[in-house]
Structure 1
Amino acid sequence: MERGDLLIQNAVVVSSKNCTPADILIREGKVLALLAPDSGAEADQVVDAQGKYVMPGCVDGHTHMMDPGFTEREDFTTGTMAAAVGGITTVVDHHRTTPAVYSVGPLLEKIDYLNQKSCVDFGLKGGISPDNVEELEAMWNEGITGFKTFTCNLHGVKAMHSAFLMRSMTEVARLGGTVLIHCEDDGICQYNEETLRAAGRTDYHSQYEWRSKLAEYVAVQTVISVAKATRCRTVIAHVSQPELLEQIRAAREEGYEIYAESCPHYFNLTVEDLEQLGPWAKFTPPMNTAEKQAQLWKLFDLGLVTTIGSDHCPYPKEQKEPGEKNIWDAPNGIPGVETSLRLMLDGAAKGKTTINRVVECMCENPAKVYGLYPRKGHLNPGADADLVIVDLQREKQVRNEDIVSKCGWSPFNGRVLKGVPEKVFVRGTLVAEDGRFVGKPGYGRFVRRIRSCLK
């Protein structure tokens, strides 16, 4: 019997298909073997999982850590510390930093910079703008996981109207790349804003009417059509409507690589929460009704959601507070990396889905779609030993005072969730334990894309 650096005993190893009792033998940061329980294997360090679930570390394909440039909101160290305590062992960060990553020079600078600060492993996205199509190939060749773009003017990013989409997605398809795209129709959002402001609306519900379901619906139709025409691998970001999940599935069944990302807040917040929490639950596209939320859970469990991303987009309290009097005065975005896994595990613990589906959408599929598989996303031999020991029966309250993210608050403050990530390992090293970060900044490393394909 080979000896390992670390042995996780008495685990129930979770994949998208099975929950299998096993011991996990780890050597030099990688899974060496999955062994029968009580195998007699030896290691320098032994952790007894006591029959709890052990799942792969989550791959979060949608985070805004805002470093460098906006570190009053988050920096990469605090953001990846928060990811670690939440069971996310690989984050994929967006291009919206200073300088923004629209060309290869800022990309390489950002990689070097973040390698000194990250607490978990990370991938990066490049940005697509109306005028940078010539820059995409050089960024792709440096191993990024894909590109991000928007169909609307948001966060200082220019809207990609249909001509720009055709041009850029044709190029990304030529490269074999992947686009993650925020879908809200800019014209409809502008019209809604003008109408609401003219009526003097400042109430919380006006957010729901401004970033309307029609705006999301129309933009998704356009993006599906362009993705089909260009054969570009496309992930529709933060899908909030069950009807859109059905349409994305239909496109996929026709043979197109068009996938749906959703976020835990769509499964756990409703319009009624927006009316109570106001700026603390202000994000876009906004949440849905309780009836639509129940449908989302059913479709998630049926496999219509490909990936779950946190869309971690924190703001300090002082930037959100003005929205309590006038909802327009608060920015769009909420923190998410600390609570994403817990929220989805809570759904599994309460019978809305299974832990296998959670692993599929938060570990396996994002690793495959963003080209990090087979290094990430599973616990078979050869994979990085990124893993989370989960007590699915334990309940724990979300409290603002426990939040590790620099913003120091959560829209789920006070909520009791069932399912706790108790120990989190990155490449065989313990980085978080029971909500406390115990790793070291700079341990995380940039992970180059291997390939991008969900087969």
Structure 2
Amino acid sequence: NLSDLEEMIRLGAVAFKAFLTWAPEIPAVDDYSLVKAMEILSDKDRVIGIHCENDSIIQGHKNSLKKAKRNKMEDFLESRPEIAEYEATCRVALLAKETNAKVHIVHCSLPQAVEVARMFRLQGAKVSVETCIQYLTFTKEELLRLGPYGQFNPPYRSPEAVEGMWKNVMNGSIACLASDHSPYTFEEKEAGFKSIWDSPEGVTGIQTWVPQFFSEGFHKRKMPLSKFIMLCSTRAAQIFGLYPRKGIIALGSDADLVIFDPEAKWIVSSKDLLYKKKWSPFIGKEIKGRVDITIVGGEIVYQNGAIIAQGGQGCFISPEYSQS
């Protein structure tokens, strides 16, 4: 909706998102519309987040697999090859450079794609990259066992890709982490056991990714605490224009804080989940590090495993107000 962008910005929209491949109820954006959107958002100093996968490649693979009556989890993984993400990232980085737009590549799974973004940044492109905990922890065997409950886009790649993504997390090529939280009902997910093409793609993770990233990054890989905080909070606030209102503990910033026990050991269980539907691909994962208290605007909203806040306490903020 190119004609709506400027009005949405006037009303305070923080950022925008586009998919280069089909998502439920969201058609893949064509290149012309993407370029025009980048030009508008560049002029208005707004970020566009982009899901980078080549739709034509994916649909071709998917149709071929369906015709062959292949409908298992391994077939889903095959339907979204690395080249689909790599090509789309190359295209987006080039368009970002040519339009001078601020582009944020969301939930990246591929080390080669991270490297493309890094190379274009060296040429002046304003391209940042995020990844998610699912691209840093899973094995193929785990996902084949999970079936539709481990189905997300882009998909898991390989052990080598996992290690490559960790390298990019540690060396600063990846700006921040995110959850890509996509909740669905049990009924929706269970349909994928009959045919993987009938299950919606996406997994839950918003409750578990921070402690899981701490466990994997800080404890297992000796990540400095300052880098952990940067990846979980500061850089995201900076990228989306909410810094220093968010992303820092400082005079005048919002008192949004987490009290975190770095030594607490626990195993993810459905009884601990606060989601409406108590499922997670991370159930059974052992984690070291746990959120004890969450404070928003100076008020305790979460404590001892329960949300204790009343609704209606939040307020809308825009980049202009956050940076003033």
The two structures have a TM-score, normalised by structure 2, of 0.96
1:444 offset after TM fit, Å? 2.0
Task: Check conservation: 1:400, 1:413, Cα contact below 8 A.
Answer: yes
Q: Is structure 2 residue 127 aligned with structure 1 residue 258?
A: yes
Residue 361 (structure 1) aligned to one of 208, 231, 244:
231
What residue identity is the alignment partner of 1:263? Answer: C
Task: Check conservation: 1:162, 1:222, Cα contact below 8 A.
Answer: no
Measured in 2, the distance between the counterparts of 1:380 and 1:147 equals 28
What residue identity is the alignment partner of 1:198? Answer: K
1:352 offset after TM fit, Å? 5.0
1:218 offset after TM fit, Å? 1.1
1:238 offset after TM fit, Å? 0.6
Task: Check conservation: 2:245, 2:322, Cα contact below 8 A.
Answer: no
1:303 offset after TM fit, Å? 0.7
Task: Check conservation: 2:2, 2:33, Cα contact below 8 A.
Answer: no
1:232-276: CA deviations, max 9, x gaps? Answer: 100011110111111111211222210001111111223222211
> Which runs of no fewer than 5 residues in structure 1 stay unpaired?
1-131
Greater per-residue strand proportion? 1
Q: CA RMSD in A?
A: 1.5
Provide the residue aligned with 2:249 in structure 1.
Answer: 379
Q: Is structure 2 residue 192 aligned with structure 1 residue 323?
A: yes
How many pairs are equivalent?
322
1:32-181 paired onto structure 2 within 5 Å = 132-181=1-50
Provide the residue aligned with 1:199 in structure 2.
Answer: 68
Measured in 1, the distance between the counterparts of 2:62 and 2:41 equals 33
Provide the residue aligned with 1:398 in structure 2.
Answer: 268
SS in 2 for 1:423: strand
Measured in 1, the distance between the counterparts of 2:123 and 2:177 equals 23
Greater per-residue helix proportion? 2
Measured in 1, the distance between the counterparts of 2:33 and 2:313 equals 39
1:83-128: CA deviations, max 9, x gaps? Answer: xxxxxxxxxxxxxxxxxxxxxxxxxxxxxxxxxxxxxxxxxxxxxx
Measured in 2, the distance between the counterparts of 1:278 and 1:385 equals 41
1:28-79: CA deviations, max 9, x gaps? Answer: xxxxxxxxxxxxxxxxxxxxxxxxxxxxxxxxxxxxxxxxxxxxxxxxxxxx
- Bigger relative contact order, structure 1 or 2 (CA pairs below 8 A, ≥6 apart): 1
Task: Check conservation: 2:85, 2:113, Cα contact below 8 A.
Answer: no
Provide the residue aligned with 1:421 in structure 2.
Answer: 291
Provide the residue aligned with 2:93 in structure 1.
Answer: 224
Measured in 2, the distance between the counterparts of 1:159 and 1:367 equals 27
What residue identity is the alignment partner of 2:179? Answer: S
Residue 141 (structure 2) aligned to one of 272, 296, 317:
272
1:452 offset after TM fit, Å? 9.1
Task: Check conservation: 1:349, 1:393, Cα contact below 8 A.
Answer: no
1:354 offset after TM fit, Å? 2.8
SS in 1 for 2:221: coil
What residue identity is the alignment partner of 1:290? Answer: P
- Change over 3 Å in CA distance of 1:260–1:324 after alignment to 2: same
Measured in 1, the distance between the counterparts of 2:16 and 2:202 equals 20
- Aligned-pair identity in percent equals 34
Residue 152 (structure 2) aligned to one of 274, 277, 283:
283
1:211-250 paired onto structure 2 within 5 Å = 211-250=80-119
Measured in 2, the distance between the counterparts of 1:352 and 1:208 equals 31
What residue identity is the alignment partner of 1:327? Answer: I
Q: Which moved more, 1:180-189 or 1:343-352?
A: 343-352
